[in-house]
């Protein structure tokens, strides 16, 4: 016989779900509107998404106030975790999304922005990121990761050119592999410790002083590989330039900022205890990764012929810097990380948006990519303001 389940609604603390529920409801509303009356102008969807994001932002500010009063909150069967990390991560995600979404108001007809599904997927994706950030539970992280990634693959594919299918498929296979790695790593950790909550895992591991070091090694390697894909650390970076190159510039800029901040927050939760565990090989492994990412990516960026690819490599190297901050693992480095990433979000979104401004629909003959350096030569003469702004963002 099953025990009757007795859970009081208060103990669930459902309000911790509000920030995620807002974009989900928003996505459903957009789908419903499309169902009731099709063929509406995209400006409607843009503004609605913007409104929902604003509301989301408002609720997060609300939570930030609550947090400063009460400290960390748990909710919804204790899987939701609202702490400073979760709040600031979500704030950056929502803010960057609010910067991105008006770009789709372009008057040039990029057809993917005319579909209501685009905005619904976009909001679902944000909800996924928010779930990732605001939890301690490996399963919920996985769910959030998959929700957001699936939406993102589709967003890339909606561009509807041969190359964008290629990019979406490439991203999808890589992402699927990463997801597989992640679940493997999580499984091993669960087998070792009997828990899927990161703080539990670290407590159990610390209690028996990493006696099963071999298994920990395997698990961490898997997890590192999966986050390596998501964060595009070298040597898991190969997909990045290709995917960025063919997806629309605005979306590429978005991809270089928001999914990464979500992954960084998870990486921070996950690797924090590992970094402080004084296991030598682990630190060495992370150091190698970080140093390689920071240096090699910059060198590759130098030899690119396309601006977008160059920016892609530069974003890889930025990811390396942030990973370094996680590796150092002090409070100071963590706050520096967020500052760094907010600034990076502005400059990177700005740089990609400038590419977006200079986009073209059909490739000119003899040009094999969208944004070769030659296209921008002499920009300062033709459109001086644009050139100045772009220079500013690139700096």
Partner 1 sequence: MDSILTILIFFPAVAGVLGFVVHKDSIRAYGISVAVIEFALSLVLWMGYDPNVSGMQFMESIPLIPEFGISYLLGIDGISLFIIVMASFFTMIGIATLGETKRIKDMIITLLFLQMTMIGVFASLDAILFYVFWELSLVPMLYIIGAWGGPLRIYASVKFFLYTFTGSLVMLVGMLFMAYFYQQATGVWSFSLLEWYRLILPESYQLWLFAAFFFGFAIKVPMFPFHTWLPYAHGQAPTIGSVLLAAVLLKMGTYAFVRFSLPLFPDASVFFMMPIAVLAIIMIIYTAMVAYAQEDLKQVIAYSSVSHMGVIILGTFALNVEGIAGSVFLMIRHGVVSGALFYLVGVIYDRRHTKMMSEFGGLASVMPRYATIFGIMMMASVGLPLTINFVGEFLSLLGFYKQSHIMTLIAGIAIIVGAIYMLAAYKKVFFGDVTKEENKNLPDVNKREMLALIPLTIVAIWLGVYPKPILEPISNSTESIVQLMHDKAITQEAKERIPNLAEEMTISRTSTQEAH
What residue ranges bind partner 1 (CB under 8 A)? Answer: 15, 29, 33, 36-37, 40-44, 46-48, 50-51, 54-55, 58, 61-62, 65-66, 105
Shortest distance in whole angstroms from residue 122 CB to partner 1:
16
Query: Which one, 60 or 322, has the nearer CB to partner 1?
Result: 60
Query: Which one, 62 or 208, has the nearer CB to partner 1?
Result: 62
Partners of 75 in the beta sheet? Answer: 80
Query: Which one, 29 or 328, has the nearer CB to partner 1?
Result: 29
Shortest distance in whole angstroms from residue 41 CB to partner 1:
3
Query: Which one, 104 or 135, has the nearer CB to partner 1?
Result: 104
Query: Which one, 38 or 366, has the nearer CB to partner 1?
Result: 38
Asked if residue 143 has a cis previous peptide bond (ω within 30° of 0), the answer is: no
Shortest distance in whole angstroms from residue 144 CB to partner 1:
24
Shortest distance in whole angstroms from residue 252 CB to partner 1:
24
Query: Which one, 99 or 325, has the nearer CB to partner 1?
Result: 99
Query: Which one, 15 or 221, has the nearer CB to partner 1?
Result: 15
Query: Which one, 39 or 366, has the nearer CB to partner 1?
Result: 39
Q: Six-digit token pair at 67?
A: 């947090």
* Spatial separation of the C-alpha atoms in residues 231 and 3, rounded to whole Å: 44
Shortest distance in whole angstroms from residue 96 CB to partner 1:
18
Phi-psi category of 83—alpha, beta or left, where left has phi over 0 and alpha has psi -120 to 50? Answer: beta
Shortest distance in whole angstroms from residue 58 CB to partner 1:
6
Shortest distance in whole angstroms from residue 13 CB to partner 1:
12
Shortest distance in whole angstroms from residue 29 CB to partner 1:
6
């Amino acid at each position: 016989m099953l025990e009757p389940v007795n859970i009081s609604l208060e103990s669930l603390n459902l309000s911790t779900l509000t920030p995620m529920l807002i974009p989900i409801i928003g996505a459903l509303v957009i789908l419903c509107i499309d169902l009731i009356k099709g063929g509406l102008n995209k400006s409607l969807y843009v503004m609605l998404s913007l409104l929902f994001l604003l509301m989301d932002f408002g609720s997060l500010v609300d939570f930030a106030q609550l947090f400063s009063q009460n400290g960390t909150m748990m909710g919804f069967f204790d899987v939701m975790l609202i702490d400073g990390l979760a709040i600031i991560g979500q704030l950056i995600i929502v803010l960057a999304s609010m910067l991105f979404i008006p770009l789709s108001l372009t008057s040039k007809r990029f057809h993917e922005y005319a579909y209501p599904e685009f905005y619904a997927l976009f909001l679902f994706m944000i909800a996924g990121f928010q779930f990732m950030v605001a939890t301690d539970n490996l399963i919920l992280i996985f769910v959030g990761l998959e929700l957001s990634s699936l939406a993102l693959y589709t967003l890339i594919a909606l561009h509807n050119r041969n190359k964008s299918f290629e990019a979406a498929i490439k991203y999808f296979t890589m992402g699927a592999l990463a997801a597989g790695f992640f679940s493997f790593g999580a499984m091993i950790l669960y087998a070792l410790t009997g828990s899927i909550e990161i703080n539990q895992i670290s407590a159990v591991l610390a209690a028996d002083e990493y006696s099963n070091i071999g298994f920990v090694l395997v698990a961490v390697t898997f997890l590192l590989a999966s986050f390596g894909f998501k964060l595009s650390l070298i040597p898991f970076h190969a997909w990045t330039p290709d995917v960025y190159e063919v997806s629309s510039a605005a979306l590429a800029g978005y991809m270089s900022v928001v999914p990464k901040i979500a992954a960084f927050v998870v990486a921070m939760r996950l690797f924090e205890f590992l970094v402080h565990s004084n296991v030598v090989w682990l630190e060495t492994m992370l150091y190698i990764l970080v140093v390689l990412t920071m240096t090699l990516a910059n060198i590759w960026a130098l030899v690119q012929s396309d601006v977008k690819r160059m920016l892609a490599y530069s974003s890889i190297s930025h990811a390396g810097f942030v990973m370094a901050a996680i590796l150092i693992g002090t409070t100071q480095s963590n706050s520096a990380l967020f500052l760094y990433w907010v600034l990076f979000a502005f400059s990177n979104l700005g740089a990609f948006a400038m590419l977006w401004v200079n986009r073209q629909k059909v490739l000119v003959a003899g040009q094999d990519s969208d944004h070769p350096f030659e296209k921008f030569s002499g920009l300062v003469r033709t459109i001086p303001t644009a050139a100045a702004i772009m220079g500013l963002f690139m700096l």
